[in-house]
């Protein structure tokens, strides 16, 4: 059977399963619910041929029999190609594999090189849902993924479209997340299984590698890029409550910035009303991530080292105050990530990835549009960055932000034919943008640290219950740290990079 699979996954605490099943959207279908035990073994070659191509291959056993399933992700993470066959063998059926559109991957004896990589065993409860005329299967999975001597618990709820429109699945998802702590997940069981097998799961991660094919439309390229950013944002946000909090916060902030860059890059082709609403919500979560990340950086790079420096009296008291503010910033971030507002935002971003491009531009090729937008960004940045030495701190910061956005936008296309792949001028421009971003970043960080110290120690009253001697000691240390000069040659290096950017002939 050849088909497509449109499916949304949500993480759910097992303790909330009762509330989920009692939700009005599901309650009427409970009489028809079913339960089964599913044991799925995932196969790949020793060199992870399928994983590299975003393909999963499994053999699933249940009370109903054995099914072999092949899935391939394209532009969308949630809308995938799917091929299945019923077979009793414990290994993937080689003849069937060679009958699928992916037959070139399994020619010769390659199918015989497939070996088990990991196993997923869950107890699944299914509920047939009728919602606004669509047929949707709800599935609640509890169990674990096993790879080598490691195991990872699974507790998730899936909504799979059986008949009707994908918009209806998103509408049902919104109704559920408004009432329940369901958080969208774009990580398949296959992805988690591979990560468990190589011990990479549970660590902060960069965005998925993008493969933008020759025939992709503007809408498909936009969908692929936004979902890759959203995937990285969700994976890292999940790790913020763990021991990986500092790096996960950093990676989540980068993912959100890349997402903002993508929205800005494609802005002329997007539905502006929906974009404006999303932009406000992105700023809200961006502020929470930024406050926590800035506190982490200042603490690790300024206040903790100062605490160990005997030449800065009162630095230990200052570090204690700032450590408390860092903890509060992370508590605020955690509250945001557990809110209904966050749950709805990520769903709205997913929906916008699929329908954000205006109808008039959807089917156009993406390359001409992207080349024009990237070149426009390069020229605008070069013009603004002419004469850095006489600019204010705010002007330099604005240039830094635009250099960072342009660099992120270039990164999306570094493996695309006729854009980044194999292009030395493209790579040089990426490098120069990084130098401009980082050198101006050093100046901005110095100014931001001084502003942070002023806002904390000067512009507010001494907190109630705080001994004045303690506060005075910390304030003295703050003054000494604020008086430290910035890096002396940062502006010169930034100006040199800006001149190279102005002369770059890439597009």
pLDDT digits (tens, 9 = 90+) for 155-212: 999 999 999 999 999 999 999 999 999 999 999 999 999 999 999 999 999 888 888 9
The count of other CB atoms within 10 Å of the CB of residue 182 is 24
Q: Are residues 282 and 192 in the same domain?
A: no
Q: Is the pLDDT of residue 440 over 50?
A: yes
Note whether residue 214 is domain-resident: no
Q: Are residues 151 and 268 in the same domain?
A: no
Tokens of 406: 């342009």
Average pLDDT over residues 52-75: 94
Q: What is the Cα gyration radius of the chain?
A: 26
pTM of the predicted model as reported, rounded to 2 decimal places: 0.93
Q: Is the pLDDT of residue 272 over 90?
A: yes
Domain boundary residue among 201, 228, 245? 201
Note whether residue 423 is domain-resident: yes
Average pLDDT over residues 41-51: 95
| CATH at residue 75 | 2.40.320.10
Q: Are residues 189 and 266 in the same domain?
A: no
Counting Cα atoms < 13 Å in the Cβ hemisphere of 427 gives 5
Each residue of 366-386: pLDDT tens digit?
999 999 999 999 999 999 999
| CA–CA dist 87, 99 (Å, integer) | 14
Note whether residue 231 is domain-resident: no
Counting Cα atoms < 13 Å in the Cβ hemisphere of 158 gives 21
Q: Which residues contact 109 (CB under 8 A, 6 or more apart)?
A: none
Note whether residue 419 is domain-resident: yes
Note whether residue 290 is domain-resident: yes
Q: Are residues 287 and 160 in the same domain?
A: no
Note whether residue 174 is domain-resident: yes
Note whether residue 242 is domain-resident: no
Q: Are residues 267 and 197 in the same domain?
A: no
| CA–CA dist 231, 195 (Å, integer) | 15
| CATH at residue 465 | 1.40.20.10
Q: Are residues 311 and 382 in the same domain?
A: yes
Is residue 59 within 8 Å of 68, Cβ to Cβ? yes
Is residue 289 within 8 Å of 333, Cβ to Cβ? yes
Q: Are residues 299 and 424 in the same domain?
A: yes
Higher pLDDT residue, 462 or 342? 342
Share of the chain above pLDDT 90, in %: 79
The count of other CB atoms within 10 Å of the CB of residue 148 is 11
Q: Is the pLDDT of residue 304 over 80?
A: yes
Burial class (CB in 10 A: 0-12, 13-18, 19+), 343: buried
| pLDDT for the residue 487 | 61
| pLDDT for the residue 180 | 95
Domain boundary residue among 184, 201, 218? 201
Q: Which residues contact 206 (CB under 8 A, 6 or more apart)?
A: 232, 251, 254
Tell me the CA distances in angstroms from 138 to 160, 254, 452, 467, one per residue in order. Answer: 7, 33, 48, 58
Tell me the CA distances in angstroms from 215 to 74, 75, 101, 140, one per residue in order. Answer: 12, 11, 17, 37
Tokens of 17: 């399963």
| pLDDT for the residue 1 | 42
Q: Are residues 378 and 471 in the same domain?
A: yes
Q: Is the pLDDT of residue 44 over 90?
A: yes
Q: How confident is the model at residue 488 (pLDDT cuts 50, 70, 90)?
A: low
Q: In 3D, which of 430, 427, 373, 443 has the Cα closest to residue 403?
A: 430
Q: Is the pLDDT of residue 2 over 60?
A: no
State the residue range of the domain holding 279: 262-503
Q: How confident is the model at residue 404 (pLDDT cuts 50, 70, 90)?
A: very high
Each residue of 415-438: pLDDT tens digit?
898 888 878 999 999 999 999 999
Calculate the CA dihedral of residues 471, 474, 475, 479 and round it to 10 degrees.
180
Residue 51, φ and ψ in degrees, nearest 5? -60, -40
Number of domain units in the chain: 2
Three-state DSSP at 472 gives helix
Three-state DSSP at 270 gives strand
| 418 DSSP 8-state letter | T
Tokens of 107: 């020619």
Q: Are residues 92 and 185 in the same domain?
A: yes
Q: Are residues 170 and 286 in the same domain?
A: no
Note whether residue 94 is domain-resident: yes
| CA–CA dist 37, 487 (Å, integer) | 61
Q: Are residues 478 and 372 in the same domain?
A: yes
Tokens of 388: 């850095």
Residue 402, φ and ψ in degrees, nearest 5? -70, -35
| CA–CA dist 248, 229 (Å, integer) | 14
Q: Are residues 46 and 156 in the same domain?
A: yes
Is residue 86 within 8 Å of 118, Cβ to Cβ? no
Domain boundary residue among 201, 234, 249? 201
Tokens of 410: 């270039």
């Amino acid at each position: 059977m050849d088909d497509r699979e449109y499916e949304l996954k949500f993480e759910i605490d097992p303790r909330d399963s009762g509330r989920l099943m009692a939700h009005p959207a599901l309650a009427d279908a409970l009489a028809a619910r079913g339960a089964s035990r599913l044991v799925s073994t995932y196969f790949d070659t020793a060199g992870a041929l399928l994983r590299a191509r975003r393909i999963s291959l499994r053999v699933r056993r249940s009370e109903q029999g054995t099914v072999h399933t092949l899935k391939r992700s394209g532009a969308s993470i949630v809308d995938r190609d799917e091929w299945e066959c019923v077979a009793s063998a414990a290994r993937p059926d080689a003849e069937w594999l060679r009958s699928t559109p992916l037959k070139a991957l399994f020619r010769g004896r390659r199918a015989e090189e497939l070996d088990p990589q990991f196993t997923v065993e869950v107890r699944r409860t299914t509920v047939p849902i009728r919602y606004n005329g669509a047929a949707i299967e709800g599935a609640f999975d509890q169990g674990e993924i096993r790879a080598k001597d490691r195991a990872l618990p699974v507790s998730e709820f899936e909504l799979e479209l059986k008949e009707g429109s994908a918009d209806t699945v998103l509408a049902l998802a919104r109704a559920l997340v408004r009432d329940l702590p369901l958080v969208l997940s774009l990580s398949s069981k296959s992805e988690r299984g591979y990560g468990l097998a190589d011990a990479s799961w549970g660590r902060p991660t960069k965005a998925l590698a993008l493969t933008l094919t020759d025939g992709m439309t503007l809408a498909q390229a936009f969908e692929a890029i936004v979902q890759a950013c959203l995937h990285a944002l969700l994976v890292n946000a999940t790790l913020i409550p763990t021991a990986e909090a500092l790096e996960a916060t950093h990676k989540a902030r980068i993912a959100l910035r890349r997402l903002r860059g993508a929205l800005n890059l494609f802005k002329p082709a997007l539905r502006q009303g929906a974009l404006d609403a999303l932009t406000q919500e992105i700023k809200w979560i961006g502020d929470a991530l930024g406050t926590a990340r800035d506190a982490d950086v200042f603490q690790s790079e300024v206040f903790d080292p100062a605490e160990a420096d005997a030449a800065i009296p009162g630095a230990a008291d200052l570090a204690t105050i700032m450590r408390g503010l860092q903890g509060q910033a992370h508590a605020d971030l955690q509250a945001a990530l557990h809110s209904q507002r966050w749950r709805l935002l990520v769903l709205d971003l997913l929906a916008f990835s699929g329908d954000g491009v205006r109808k008039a531009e959807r089917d156009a090729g993406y390359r001409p549009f992207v080349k024009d937008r990237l070149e426009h960004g390069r020229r605008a940045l070069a013009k603004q960055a002419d004469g850095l030495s006489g600019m204010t701190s705010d002007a330099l910061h604005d240039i830094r932000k635009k250099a960072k956005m342009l660099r992120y936008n270039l990164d999306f296309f570094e493996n695309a034919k006729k854009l980044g792949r194999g292009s030395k001028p493209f790579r040089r421009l990426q490098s120069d943008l990084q130098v401009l971003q980082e050198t101006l970043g050093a100046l901005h960080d110095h100014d931001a640290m001084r502003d942070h110290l002023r806002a904390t120690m000067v512009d507010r009253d001494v907190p109630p219950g705080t001994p004045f001697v303690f506060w005075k000691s910390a304030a003295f240390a703050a003054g000494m740290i604020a008086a430290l000069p910035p890096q002396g040659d940062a502006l010169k290096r930034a100006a040199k990079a800006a001149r190279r950017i102005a002369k770059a002939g890439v597009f």
